[in-house]
Amino acid sequence: MSRRERGNSHRAVESTAIECKQEPGLFVPVIDRNRCEGKADCVEVCPYEVFVVTTLPVEQRTGLSFLGRLKGRAHGWQQALTPNAEACHACGLCVKACPESAITLARA
């Protein structure tokens, strides 16, 4: 990443911090596994690195609807996960960015 890109990224985090509604950890993103197609829009817009897109673990595939299993297979089981959910500031950028409307914010 170039110095210019890092500077732009830092400014994006600063401007987003103004928009954030809560202290970190009060809300967490919840991903609807039947909807997520792993397109990574949430990863791109989140200034706090809450999301990663990776292969959905087998134990999290149980309980998916028929359509959820079809989508999972079609997309190589790539889905968004939230390893840093406690860093969420509830800005809602991920909710707006998700093309499948698969993300909601819930109280921790």
Q: What is the pLDDT of residue 22?
A: 79
The pLDDT tens digits for 78-105 are 999 999 999 999 999 999 999 999 999 9
pLDDT > 70? residue 8 = no
Specify whether the CB–CB gap between 81 and 6 falls below 8 A.
no
Residue 9 has pLDDT above 70, yes or no: no
| 3-state secondary structure (DSSP) of residue 18 | helix
Q: What is the domain extent for residue 55? A: 3-107
CATH number where 10 lies:
3.30.70.20
Q: How far apart are CA 80 and CA 36, in angstroms?
A: 7
How sure is the predictor about 6, in pLDDT bands with cuts at 50, 70 and 90?
very low
Q: How far apart are CA 87 and CA 69, in angstroms?
A: 29
**How many folded domains does the chain comprise?**
1
Q: If you average pLDDT over residues 23-40, what whole number do you get?
A: 94
pLDDT in tens, 34-85: 999 999 999 999 999 999 999 999 999 999 999 999 999 999 999 999 999 9
**φ, ψ for residue 89, nearest 5 deg:** -105, 10
CB-CB neighbours of 41 under 10 Å: 19
Q: Please return the burial class of 93, using the count of CB atoms within 10 Å of its CB with bins 0-12, 13-18 and 19+.
A: buried
pTM equals 0.79
Contact criterion met (CB below 8 Å) for 51 and 102: no
